Amino acid sequence: MTSRKTWPRAQAAHEDEANRILARYASFCAWTPCLPVPVEHIVEGYYGLTILCEQLDEPPGQTILGALSPQDKAIRLNERHIDLFDRCIGPETFTLAHELGHWVYDAVDPAQGQLFGVSADGVVFCRRVDGGQTTDWDIREVNANKFAACLVLPAELVRKQIKSQFDSWRAFEAAARDWGASQSTLKIRLQTLDLEWCLP
């Protein structure tokens, strides 16, 4: 199997990749770019990945919200956290975008249904194991997280929406909800885009 190089991608690379995907999706589906971004439909309708909800085992001390099964072209959301997905806006969408990031960045050839370093019949559980040296998968996790943030909250759309400082935390919370993101994701995104001054 041919490998794909793993490296910490620059923020600009994540922005560009997310923008390319959104532009292609907009053309494919006649979508007018707006928030919230239809991540679920991008995953299923454009990339042809199936979204399943199943109970996934979690090793002690680890939380697994989802997994990518490349051989099935499927993203599996962990049924153990269905209450979190139902209760909070953001985690489900971000998890789907994160797993899509692995598909886009880490697939040897997306048509093969394989990821570099993973057997064709294996499931990729996305998690970080603390301790020891930084591994390729640690780098891949960071890349997938940064990509997900760019896809869920594209820079251009966020900047169009924000004209002035949020006048309260309640207004900030409402924006995160309306834009389909968690408050923590929106806060980090504003900091990344040098829009931290917008915070109440």
Q: Concatenate the DSSP letters of all residues of 28-85 into one string.
A: HHT----SSP-HHHIIIIIT--EEEEE-----TT----EEEEGGGTEEEEEGGGHHHH
Query: What pLDDT score does 109 carry?
Result: 55
71-99 residue pLDDT tens = 889 999 999 999 989 999 999 999 999 99
169, part of any domain: no
149, part of any domain: yes
Question: How many Å apart are CA 111 and CA 44, to the nearest integer?
Answer: 15
93-107 residue pLDDT tens = 999 999 999 899 887
DSSP reduced 3-state for 32: coil
186, part of any domain: no
Pair 99, 126: CB distance under 8 Å:
yes
8-59 residue pLDDT tens = 899 999 999 999 999 999 999 999 999 999 999 999 999 999 999 999 888 8
- Residues contacting residue 142 through CB under 8 Å, at least 6 positions apart: 8
Question: How many Å apart are CA 102 and CA 77, to the nearest integer?
Answer: 15
166, part of any domain: no
Overall residue count recorded for the chain in this entry: 200
190, part of any domain: no
Question: How many Å apart are CA 65 and CA 73, to the nearest integer?
Answer: 17
Whether the predicted pLDDT of 119 surpasses 70: no
- If we measure between CA atoms, which residue out of 109, 115, 81 comes closest to residue 95? 81
Locate 34 and state its tokens: 């707006």
CB 131: neighbour CB atoms within 10 A?
4
Query: Domains in the chain: how many in total?
Result: 1
More confident residue, 114 or 108: 108
Q: Write out the residue range of the structural domain in which residue 115 sits.
A: 11-153
Residue with tokens 């090793």: 59
Pair 17, 147: CB distance under 8 Å:
yes
17, part of any domain: yes
Question: How many Å apart are CA 91 and CA 87, to the nearest integer?
Answer: 10
Rounded to the nearest integer, the mean pLDDT of the chain is 85
Query: What pLDDT score does 5 carry?
Result: 66
For the chain, report the end-to-end CA distance as a whole number of angstroms: 50
